[in-house]
Amino acid sequence: MDPRTDSAIGAARPTTKIEVRDIQKVYRVKRENGGGYGEFIVLKDVNLDVYAGEFLTLVGPSGCGKSTMLDLLAGLIPNSGGEIRIDGRTITGPAMDRGFVMQAYALFPWLTVQSNVEFGLTIKKVPKAKRKAISAHYLEMVGLTQFANRYPHELSGGMKQRVAIARALAFDPEVLLMDEPFAALDAQTRETLQDELLELWEKTGKTIVFVTHSIDEAVYLADRIAVMGTNPGRISEIVNIKLSRPRKGSRGSAEFGWIRHKIWQYLQPEEAAKEDFPPIGATDVAAVIDSQAAL
Ligand SMILES: Nc1ncnc2c1ncn2[C@@H]1O[C@H](COP(=O)(O)OP(=O)(O)OP(=O)(O)O)[C@@H](O)[C@H]1O
Ligand SMILES: [Mg+2]
C-alpha cells in the first residue's frame, strides 16, 4: 500500500514556529516588613510549542505571568533560565520577525498617529508613498482615518490602543504578540476588530500569540488555548478548539457555550467546579475540543 495515504498526509505534524523550553522568570523584590530582598518566581518550567500559522490564545488569572511570558517572547526582558527559539534560533532580544501590541500601549508621544503607524516601516526603509498607503489602510481598518494627524495625548485610551494595533499590523511581522489588545475597547469595536484580525490572519498566515482575560474572546479566536495557572506561573492545560471557521455568528451555539464553560472550569483553582458539565444537546465533545496536559 502506498504509505502516502490521505490520512498519512493529513496527519503531517505542524511546523513549530516558537519553542519555549523550561522558561523561568525570577524577579528580585523587596521583602515586606523591611527584610531585605527576596526572589519572586513569576514563571517556572514553562514549556510551549507554537505552530507556524496558528492562532494561540493565552488565558489565566491576573498576575499569573501572561504579560511576562509575552515580554519574554518579544525579547523585551531577559529570562532567568531556559530558552526560547523562533525558527530554531534562540532569541536574544527584540527583532524584526516579531511585532507586538503591549498591554500598556506605548506610542511615541512626539509623533502623530500616522507617523506612529509608519514607524516600523520607516525603520524597514519602506519608501514614503508606500508607507503612506499602508498606514492609511490600517488606520481605516481601526477607524482612525480622521485622526491621522493628531498626537497620542489628544486620543482616548481605546483610540491609542487602536493606533498600537494598526502599527503592529502595518509592520507586517511573521509573529504577532498581542497582550489584551482589545481590552480597552467597547464591545462593538472589539468584535469588529476580532473579525478584522481573523481575516488578516487567514490571509497572511501569521503566527499569533494573543493574551486575553475574556474566555469568550479566547475561544472565538483560537486554534488552541493555553491556560495558565498561578503561583508560580505555569501552563496547566492546552486545549484544541475545533470549532469550524469562519466563526462569525457562532457565539450563541451550544458548542461555543460548552467550550466556554470548559475553559472557565480549567481556570478555577484546584478542586473547585471540577464536576463534569454534560455536553449540550447533540454536541460531540471530541468534535469540539481536546486537551492535553502542558509539555
Ligand atoms: N518588574 C517586576 N518586578 C517584580 N515583579 C514583577 C515585575 N513585573 C511583573 N511582576 C510580577 O509578576 C507577576 C506576573 O505579572 P504579569 O504582568 O506577567 O501578570 P499577568 O498575568 O499579565 O496579569 P494581568 O492579567 O493582570 O495583566 C505579578 O505578580 C507581578 O507583580
Ligand atoms: Mg498582563
- The edge-to-edge listing of strands for the beta sheet with 37-51 is 37-51, 16-30, 81-86, 89-90
From atom 2 of ligand 1, which residue's Cα is the shortest distance away?
A: 27
Residues 6+ apart with CB under 8 A from 115: 108
Please report which ligand is nearest the Cα atom of 66: 1
Concatenated DSSP letters for the chain? Answer: --S--HHHHHTPPPPEEEEEEEEEEEEEEEPGGG--EEEEEEEEEEEEEEETT-EEEEE--TTSSHHHHHHHHHTSS--SEEEEEETTEE--S--TTEEEE-SS----TTS-HHHHHHHHHHHTT--HHHHHHHHHHHHHHTT-GGGTT--GGGS-HHHHHHHHHHHHHHH--SEEEEESTTTTS-HHHHHHHHHHHHHHHHHH--EEEEE-S-HHHHHHH-SEEEEEETTTBEEEEEEEE---S--TT-TTSHHHHHHHHHHHHHHS-TTTT-S--PPPTT--HHHHEEEEE--
- CATH number for the domain that contains residue 267: 3.40.50.300
State which residues form the domain around 17.
Answer: 13-97+173-293
Residue 132, domain member (yes or no): no
pLDDT of residue 279: 53
From atom 28 of ligand 1, which residue's Cα is the shortest distance away?
A: 63
Residue 108, domain member (yes or no): no
pLDDT of residue 96: 85
Point out the least confidently predicted range of 48-57, 68-77, 234-243, 281-290: 281-290
pLDDT of residue 148: 97
Residues in the chain: 295
Residue 102, domain member (yes or no): no
d(CA 79, CA 178): 19
Render pLDDT for 57-75 as a digit per residue (tens, 0 to 9): 999 999 999 999 999 999 9
Over the chain, what is the mean pLDDT? 87
Q: Hey, which of 37, 64, 69 would you mutate to test ligand 1's pocket, going by the most ligand atoms within 8 Å of its Cβ?
A: 64
d(CA 231, CA 209): 22
Check whether 251 has a pLDDT greater than 50. yes
For residue 60, the CA-to-ligand 1 centroid distance in Å is 12
Residue 240, domain member (yes or no): yes
Residues lining ligand 1, Cβ inside 6 A: 27, 29, 40, 42, 60, 62-68, 103
Render pLDDT for 74-84 as a digit per residue (tens, 0 to 9): 999 999 999 99
From atom 18 of ligand 1, which residue's Cα is the shortest distance away?
A: 65
| Grid cell at residue 98 | 516579531
Q: From 260, 228, 214, 254, select the one nearest 241 (Cα to Cα).
A: 260
Render pLDDT for 6-39 as a digit per residue (tens, 0 to 9): 444 445 678 999 999 999 999 988 887 777 888 8
Render pLDDT for 272-285 as a digit per residue (tens, 0 to 9): 555 555 555 545 56
Give the residue-averaged pLDDT of 205-218: 95
Residue 61, domain member (yes or no): yes
Number of structural domains found in the chain: 1
pLDDT bucket at 271, cuts 50 / 70 / 90: low
Residue 159, domain member (yes or no): no
Give the residue-averaged pLDDT of 174-195: 90
d(CA 101, CA 78): 19
For residue 64, the CA-to-ligand 1 centroid distance in Å is 7
Q: What are phi and psi of 124, to 5 degrees?
A: -75, 0
Residue 44, domain member (yes or no): yes
pLDDT of residue 5: 38
From atom 8 of ligand 1, which residue's Cα is the shortest distance away?
A: 68
Please report which ligand is nearest the Cα atom of 69: 1
Residue 125, domain member (yes or no): no
